[in-house]
Structure 1
Amino acid sequence: MSWTEIVIEVARSHAEALSDALMEAGALSVSVEDADEGTAAEQPLFGEPGMEPEETAWERSRVVALSDVDADHTAIVSNAALACGLPGAPAYTLRSVGDQDWVRLTQSQFAPIHIGKNIWVVPSWHDAPDADGLILELDPGLAFGTGSHPTTRLCMEWLEVHLGEHEVESVLDYGCGSGILAMVAKKLGATNVIGVDIDPQAIVSAGENSARNHCQIDYYLPEDFNNHCGLATYNIVVANILSGPLRIMASMLCARIAAGGSLTLSGILAEQAQDVIAAYAPWIALAVWREQDGWVALSGALPAVTVGLHK
């Protein structure tokens, strides 16, 4: 079966309403793109968790509606324009979408990812390239974290280096997403690994991923974590989130580090590093451990508790 895309360029103020109206008028799906993509006028549009931008479209937006090839495209556009209060039906173009094996097409975009010295993230439809490596079977899904982003890679590389050198009893992965960092820690020998995330879907996905990879890891929403784990501290605390939330959580995360333990943070652009370091300075001295593609991982350790002799 073939489909047709209806492509309409509109101002930002009309993009969301037109998208909803197109769905009501018979479109099978609708997406919004930057009409200036690939030009000097292209605009990034993103936000940190809890600080999403108010506008969810671009100054010049391209609304793309998928429809059946034999649908009445003029009627769909006209009815949608009328429903959302546009003064008239906007101009549109049509693009043919041929029949494809969508499963194979999607899978072809995701190959095994090699990280650090010995870590492989392998989708379930691939064989592991190195049977002796640290293999994580992980498919792209709803929760963030498949190892493709530099921030995730940096944290995985840090864990590989540091857990490879020392026996570590406990690891806390705060903002666990897919559970990928928690699973790396577990496969590298950490005994007690805990994952925490504010997103219930992440907790579900992380649990499923861990079961598939034969990793015994407990995952919690923040309130459940506090109820179940109390004031427990951990030899390693890792948080791959974004700079804003990381600064806000500085005292809380530092309170979770055991004496002599380490903290590693990522999700931080290189130009944000000093602000994050300053936010953590009252509790722990952090420094840039490694940089990759403009992103950094910060790391630091608390001193071990020593007992002095008293005369």
Structure 2
Amino acid sequence: MSKSTSDWLTLELSVPAEQAERAEDCLFAAGAVSVTLLDAQDHPLHEPGPGELPLWPWVLVQALFPGTVAREPLSEHLLAAGLIDSATALGFSDLVDRDWERAWMDQFRPMRFGRDLWICPSHVSPDPDWPLVVRLDPGLAFGSGTHPTTALCLEWIDSLSLIDRRVIDYGCGSGVLAIAAALKGARTVFCVDHDPQALAATRDNAERNGVGTRISAWSPAEFSSLEPHQRRADVVVANILAGPLVELAPSLAQCIRPGGQLVLSGILAEQAAAVAEAYRDLDPHPDQENREGWVRLVFQRRDDAGYR
């Protein structure tokens, strides 16, 4: 029986969504130490409903086994379970142990946004000539600059003068947009997120970048409990999803001071018109920027926008 000569053995197979859970159980029963479910056919899932855990139509199942496990019994096990028609449906590969945290971090390199703003992970020393540097490592909270929606927002922030301005980052994730705003000179930045992990990450990252005294993190309920004048800002950024942006339109619009700006992202191109319509009373002609199927909308509040 063929055994791996490496530290670990990986196995891959593709199954329809309805068989994914059974494949997972079957692989764990065969001795897998981990099982990962991935998209097998580039079929993105956008905006699942609350409590929904949808899967792709076809799922790529990856399992990790100790290197001492033989391949033939695994093939026989999956054949007997009816998950494959032949052993050729399985993909095996050897995996040598290494410093996985370091290997993962090495994938992240400094990134430039606009003219002056850089995102730099902790394992890289920034160039002294880089004007503004956000030190940030990828973590559980969304927002490291790699996604087009975050990049669009960072580039817009880089283009602004935020000296002595008041900013709200609604759906702050890692706090990367808030930190960038503070480094651009914002006097105060209110960060709002429903995820406690995001709020903790924002506080930690703000302290790490030396702007902790200017950034505060709030749950939506805490933020809503503030006095109306405390919830007003010159700039509001919300990089979330189209559905919540539409639902939040009345409350987000009220956060904008006359003459202030609202920046929305996390919007698919086909959703942009519906989001823009929800904020029509604020600004009927927002500026729109597209990238890789995602959209950034920038609204300028008119003095007569009708919000109090």
SS in 1 for 2:274: helix
Contact 1:270 1:291 in 2 (8 A): yes
Show the counterpart of 1:174: 170
What is the Cα deviation at residue 121 of structure 1? 0.3
What is the Cα deviation at residue 257 of structure 1? 1.2
Show the counterpart of 2:227: 230
What TM-score comes out, normalization by structure 2 length? Answer: 0.85
Instruction: Describe how 1:256-267 pairs up with structure 2 within 5 A.
Output: 256-267=255-266
Contact 1:7 1:63 in 2 (8 A): yes
Structure 1 stretch displaced more, 230-239 or 94-103: 94-103
Show the counterpart of 2:14: 9
Matched, 1:194 2:190: yes
Instruction: Describe how 1:88-127 pairs up with structure 2 within 5 A.
Output: 91=87, 92-127=90-125
CA 1:111–1:132 in 2, change beyond 3 Å: closer, same or farther?
Answer: closer
Matched, 1:32 2:28: no
For structure 2, the 5+ residue unaligned runs are: 1-5
Show the counterpart of 1:273: 272
For structure 1, the 5+ residue unaligned runs are: 36-41, 306-311
Structure 1 stretch displaced more, 50-59 or 263-272: 50-59
Distance 2:62 2:166 in 1: 48
Distance 1:122 1:291 in 2: 25
Matched, 1:215 2:220: no
Aligned CA-pair RMSD: 2.5
What is the Cα deviation at residue 87 of structure 1? 4.8
Q: How many residue pairs were aligned?
A: 292
SS in 1 for 2:276: helix
What is the Cα deviation at residue 286 of structure 1? 4.4
SS in 2 for 1:126: coil
Show the counterpart of 2:153: 155
What TM-score comes out, normalization by structure 1 length? Answer: 0.84
Distance 2:46 2:258 in 1: 35
Distance 2:202 2:71 in 1: 42
1:7-47 C-alpha deviation (Å, 9 max, x unpaired): 23322211123213423442111112344xxxxxx341323
- Sequence identity, in percent? 36
1:60-100 C-alpha deviation (Å, 9 max, x unpaired): x3311100111255556766888xxx457764342211233
Distance 1:51 1:215 in 2: 34
Show the counterpart of 1:295: 294
Contact 1:173 1:239 in 2 (8 A): yes
Show the counterpart of 1:23: 28
1:172-200 C-alpha deviation (Å, 9 max, x unpaired): 00010110110011111111101011111
